[in-house]
Amino acid sequence: MKTPVILLVDDEQNIITSLAGSLEDEGYTLLSASDGAQAMRIIKSQPVDIVFLDIWLPGMDGMETLKSIKDFNSGIEVVMMTGHGTVNTAVQAVKQGAFDFLEKPFSLDVVLNTVRRITEKWQAAAQAQAVSTVEEHDAARERSRLTGEAPEIIDIRRRIEKIVGTKAHVFLSGEVGTGKEIAARMLRGAEKSGRFASFHRLNCPLYDCAEASLELFGDSSGKAGLLTQPGRAVVYLASVEALDITLQDRIAEFLRKRQADPQLRVVASSALEPDEARADGKLSAGFADCFPERISLPPLRKRRGDIPLLLKHFMNVFCREYGVREKSFDDEAFEMLMNYDWPANVKELKNLIEKIVVSLHTKTVSAHDIPLSVRDDMQYNVSRSHERYATMHEAEDAWRKNFLLYHLRRNDRDIKRTAARIGVSEKQLKKYVGEYNIILTRENRTQRRMQRTLKRSMVLSGRGLHSGDKTGLILTPLPPGSGIVFGNISSGETIRANIHHVVSTDYATSLQVNGAAARTIEHLLAVLHAYRISNLMIKINNEVPIMDGSALDFCQMVEDAGLEEQEEPLDEIIVDRRHSLGESDRTKKFLTVEPADVFSVHYTLNYPRPVGRQEYTFVMSDAEDFKREIAPARTFGFLKDIEALNERGLASGGRLNNFILIDDEKIVNTDLRFPDEFVRHKIMDMVGDLYLLGRPLRAKITANMTGHSDNIALVRLLHDAYNL
């Protein structure tokens, strides 16, 4: 495998210098950048394999840069770095595709270990493409290692590496499911080293004293036991406290006689610490003394920061093993799994992920897909706490944490409201949230959203595209349940923005009821859709101003006013089946809508030169996505169409500074803001027209050469299908 090219991205030069020097000494090829934009220029100009990326960067921050890197080349592995890390940030970074998350200051060993794990992942992926037997071997190897970057886990891996080269017997302690058998198998050493050729496991509680003695020492007929067989071997005694004390003493005597024998390593494990088990009379003193090396594996609840890494690791392992596409967790599911105490530890997490991979057919895992036992434990009680927790202090902490989680959810994760209702100060509640590593997803997609309006009124003036008249735009907040309402500045007449009032879709979407009219509304409605503004009075002189032909001025107007969350919920329209208008044929006009986890539009445009064929997919995670990718795209038209519009008395407000004008050969009046600005503008029109449904939409839209009339037909279809 070739030496990886590593890009270091940090605005602190001392970090770059120290990391670069150390990594170059290890033989790696190093590049560096001081901000996200410079990093992207490097990535687009030359091969890069691994990026160490700081969260806090000037301009484009680390999370934005991570998204840009993954959008450009998902195969580049990104390791996030920060001096102000939180588990919340780690969750988001891993969800967006980061390989790992390191908190500063970190040692060179941690960095080198991270690079090693990445190269091991590549090697495993390359081997997995060979034959099925290799795939099975890779899957087993992936499961047979202690995954995690908690300091305790890193220290255990280092200790195991040192012990492997010795003759020492080892005692492993830890709760059920913490990985004691995995650690025992790691103590065998690498197969190619020939350190120990075989691994044998004895589950002690399954055998009485005579049976266990026969298994370990053989019988008088010459049958060898696990301890007496020839060849190099690791013998693993699971739950060793279940062995009879006399048998423990016999094992101890046997090991003392073979103290210098390099052929045998005994690894014993117990849920109890050796000294605790000896004090309880479950281990003999002589047996306990045979294990100079003792390793205690921490419960998962004590290394909660490793949960995102473990979720990603096991999801990758099982999706590869069962041949399915990798799934992701929505925010609420992540919150639940991060806050769960995992009484059966990593083993329970692994089993849960395997069950999800096998049984769930959707790409995204929601909170409702988490097994009921976990949800009940999280939401209602701490089950069997008298068995799960060793001390009163641990049990009280577990109760307090579940109490806080319950009330935080009841109050929509609002710290101020929750603190007031449970009778503690905000400061104290925040302290508890940090102390118990409670993860809150206040703005996740799956939770119920609230209605919105503006914090204050705003005024904008401009000119109508089709009328050519000067027109004003006054935005005024409205109370919950009011909806989007257009009003005439002069007459005071009003008209609600809904599908029943659409009267024209020629070149723009227009509404009319009696004497009230609202024309060319799609750009403004697109902005209200993106910012989820559900209650607003919009006063105009019959037509919304064109401004510069884009939606940027409307975005700025909304942001200057500020958003106000209201007390009433605003539920999304969730599409639950496929709907179509027209045949899905690239040569024909068609529209389809189908279930999806978020709102997205894939639009294909095919116009005569110089526009040509353009395609673009827009996923609207939040208003910033819309403002960055769609809002700058301007209205456009061909010269021959403008002449036809003029003959009809339309497009009188078209100016060289608010319209992209195209003749048969070129763009006449401006430089494009995007190479595919035309298709992005068509998506903006669709986002605006769809908001005539009155609520945000969760669905995937696929469109080919459609316009306003097709968009409105789709709105009518959805309106009727979902009884809106």
Query: Per-residue pLDDT tens for 268-317?
Result: 999 999 999 999 899 999 999 999 999 999 999 888 888 888 998 999 88
Taking residues 656-675, report their average pLDDT. 81
Per-residue confidence band for 654, with pLDDT thresholds at 50, 70 and 90: low
Q: What is the pLDDT of residue 446?
A: 40
% pLDDT > 90, the chain: 33
CATH number of 307-444: 1.10.8.60
Per-residue confidence band for 267, with pLDDT thresholds at 50, 70 and 90: very high
Q: Could you report the per-residue pLDDT of 426-450, keeping only the tens digit for each?
A: 888 888 887 777 777 644 334 457 8
Looking at 110-114, 115-119, 396-400, 419-423, which range is the least confident one?
A: 396-400
Tokens of 590: 């068609």
pLDDT, greater one: 230 or 656: 230
* Positive/negative CA dihedral, 353, 358, 362, 367: negative
Per-residue confidence band for 179, with pLDDT thresholds at 50, 70 and 90: very high
With CA atoms as reference, report the closest residue to 594 among 620, 575, 616.
575
Taking residues 686-695, report their average pLDDT. 94
**CATH fold of 151-297:** Rossmann fold (3.40.50)
Taking residues 612-617, report their average pLDDT. 90
Q: What is the pLDDT of residue 604?
A: 93
* Positive/negative CA dihedral, 32, 36, 40, 43: positive
Amino acid symbol at 426: E
CATH of the structural domain 450-569, one choice from 3.30.465.10, 3.40.630.10, 3.30.230.20, 1.10.1740.10? 3.30.230.20
Q: Residue 336's Cα: distance from chain center in Å?
A: 14
User: Residues 254, 255, 256, 260: what is their CA dihedral angle, to the nearest 10 degrees?
Assistant: 130
Looking at 265-269, 316-320, 321-325, which range is the least confident one?
A: 321-325
How far apart are the C-alpha atoms of 387 and 619, rounded to whole Å?
Answer: 47
Taking residues 540-559, report their average pLDDT. 89
% pLDDT > 70, the chain: 86
pLDDT at residue 109 tops 70 = yes
Q: Roughly what angle, to the nearest 10 degrees, separates helices 677-690 and 522-530?
A: 80
pLDDT, greater one: 412 or 381: 412
Bridge partners of residue 485, in order along the sequence: 496, 537
Q: What is the pLDDT of residue 258?
A: 83
Helix (H, G, I), strand (E, B) or coil at 99: coil
* Positive/negative CA dihedral, 659, 663, 666, 669: negative
pLDDT, greater one: 610 or 638: 610
With CA atoms as reference, report the closest residue to 6 among 42, 60, 55, 37.
42
Counting beta carbons within 10 angstroms of the beta carbon of residue 90, is it exposed (0 to 12), middle (13 to 18) or buried (19 or more)?
Answer: buried
CATH 3.40.50.2300 domain locations along the chain? 1-132
Q: How big is the CA angle at 71 (ends 625 and 350), to the nearest 5 degrees?
A: 105
pLDDT, greater one: 29 or 86: 29
| Residues with catalytic function | 708
How far apart are the C-alpha atoms of 264 and 269, rounded to whole Å?
Answer: 16
Counting beta carbons within 10 angstroms of the beta carbon of residue 106, is it exposed (0 to 12), middle (13 to 18) or buried (19 or more)?
Answer: middle
pLDDT, greater one: 666 or 716: 716
Helix (H, G, I), strand (E, B) or coil at 29: strand
pLDDT at residue 171 tops 80 = yes
What does each C-alpha distance from 621 to 443, 552, 696 come to in angstroms?
A: 11, 18, 12
512-534 burial code (b ≥16 CB/10 A, e <16):
eeeebbbbbbbbbbbbbbbbbbb
Q: Could you report the per-residue pLDDT of 47-94, keeping only the tens digit for each?
A: 889 999 988 888 888 888 998 888 778 789 999 887 755 556 666 777
Taking residues 411-420, report their average pLDDT. 83
Taking residues 523-539, report their average pLDDT. 94
Q: Roughly what angle, to the nearest 10 degrees, separates helices 132-143 and 307-322?
A: 160
Taking residues 691-707, report their average pLDDT. 92
Q: What is the pLDDT of residue 381?
A: 46
How far apart are the C-alpha atoms of 620 and 628, rounded to whole Å?
Answer: 11
Residues 6+ apart with CB under 8 A from 333: 365, 366, 367, 369, 370, 446
pLDDT at residue 253 tops 90 = yes
Per-residue confidence band for 134, with pLDDT thresholds at 50, 70 and 90: very low
What does each C-alpha distance from 616 to 555, 606, 630, 681, 690 come to in angstroms?
A: 21, 12, 10, 10, 18
Q: What is the pLDDT of residue 247?
A: 95
How far apart are the C-alpha atoms of 323 and 401, rounded to whole Å?
Answer: 38
Residues 6+ apart with CB under 8 A from 212: 202, 204, 243, 244, 247
pLDDT at residue 17 tops 70 = yes
User: Residues 619, 623, 628, 629: what is their CA dihedral angle, to the nearest 10 degrees?
Assistant: 30
How far apart are the C-alpha atoms of 689 and 575, rounded to whole Å?
Answer: 17
pLDDT at residue 681 tops 60 = yes
pLDDT at residue 515 tops 90 = no
Task: Report the 10 Å Cβ neighbour count for 696.
Answer: 19
Record the pTM: 0.44
DSSP state of 531: T
How far apart are the C-alpha atoms of 527 and 627, rounded to whole Å?
Answer: 8
pLDDT at residue 256 tops 80 = yes
Looking at 166-175, 245-254, 349-358, 532-541, which range is the least confident one?
A: 349-358
pLDDT, greater one: 643 or 677: 677
Tokens of 684: 């903006």
Task: State the chain's mean pLDDT as an integer.
Answer: 83
Taking residues 464-492, report their average pLDDT. 81
Tokens of 506: 């020629």
Please tell me the total number of residues recorded for the chain in this structure. Answer: 724
Amino acid symbol at 48: V
Q: What is the pLDDT of residue 383?
A: 46
CATH class as words, domain 573-721: alpha beta
User: What would the DSSP string read from start to end of 256-322?
Assistant: HHTTT-TTEEEEEEESS-HHHHHHTTSS-HHHHTT--EEEEPPPGGGSGGGHHHHHHHHHHHHHHHH
With CA atoms as reference, report the closest residue to 353 among 342, 652, 488.
342
pLDDT at residue 542 tops 70 = yes
pLDDT at residue 187 tops 60 = yes
Looking at 260-264, 312-316, 594-598, 622-626, which range is the least confident one?
A: 260-264
Q: Residue 284's Cα: distance from chain center in Å?
A: 49
Amino acid symbol at 452: R
Taking residues 10-27, report their average pLDDT. 84
CATH 1.10.8.60 domain locations along the chain? 307-444
Q: What is the pLDDT of residue 140?
A: 44
668-684 burial code (b ≥16 CB/10 A, e <16):
eebeeebebbbbbbbbb
Q: Is 694 left (phi over 0), alpha (psi -120 to 50) or beta?
A: left
Q: What is the pLDDT of residue 61?
A: 84
Radius of gyration of the chain (CA): 32
CATH of the structural domain 1-132, one choice from 3.20.10.10, 3.40.50.2300, 3.20.20.390, 2.60.40.10? 3.40.50.2300
* Ranges assigned E (strand) in 62-213: 77-82, 100-103, 170-173, 198-203
Q: What is the pLDDT of residue 647?
A: 56
CB 38 within 8 A of CB 65: no
